Structure 1
Amino acid sequence: MDTLVLRVNGMSCTGCEHRIGTALRRVDGVRDVSANHTTGRVEVRIGPELADRGVITQWITAAGYVVVTEGTQ
């Protein structure tokens, strides 16, 4: 099992953490989600059947948040 750590902008409260967690737990292969609005970090534990960071990013974006990639703020 792998852990994917992402920096996410737009989280401002525990409700945001819950919203991201709820969205990502719907994705096949996601085993656990830990989101922290204070640090802007989302940790996603994924099984071997889901190795695509893009899928996780799409779900976070669809929930209304921005995944920060290298070179963006």
Structure 2
Amino acid sequence: METVTLRVEGMSCGGCEQRIAAVLGRVEGVREVSADHTTGRVGVRVGPELADPSVLTDRVEAAGFAVTGQADRQ
């Protein structure tokens, strides 16, 4: 398993964190989501079936938030 970290703009509260966690939690291959509106970071633990992390960026942006920079994979 690996972790993908996204920098997200537009999160202003715990409700935003929950919304992002719910949206990303429905993506195949996502195991765990940790969003923090104070730092603007979202950590996503993913399994090998998630071949392309751009799917995560697309889903976050479709939910009304902006992803800045590229996803960091570790």
Aligned length, in residue pairs: 70
TM-superposed CA distance for 1:51, in Å, is 2.8
Root mean square deviation of aligned Cα: 0.9
SS of residue matched to 1:33 = strand
The CA deviation string for residues 11-59 of structure 1, in whole angstroms up to 9 with x for no partner, is 0000000000000000000000000000000000000000311100000
Give 1:33's aligned residue. 33
1:21 equivalent in structure 2: 21
Determine what percentage of the aligned residue pairs are the same residue: 61
SS at match of 2:4: strand
Amino acid at match of 1:2: E
TM-score (norm 2): 0.91
Which structure has the highest strand share of the two? 2
TM norm structure 1: 0.92
Question: Unaligned 5+ residue runs, structure 1?
Answer: none
Structure 1 counterpart SS, 2:33: strand
Stretches (4+) displaced over 4 A: none
Structure 1 counterpart of 2:2, which letter? D
Structure 2 gaps, min length 5: none
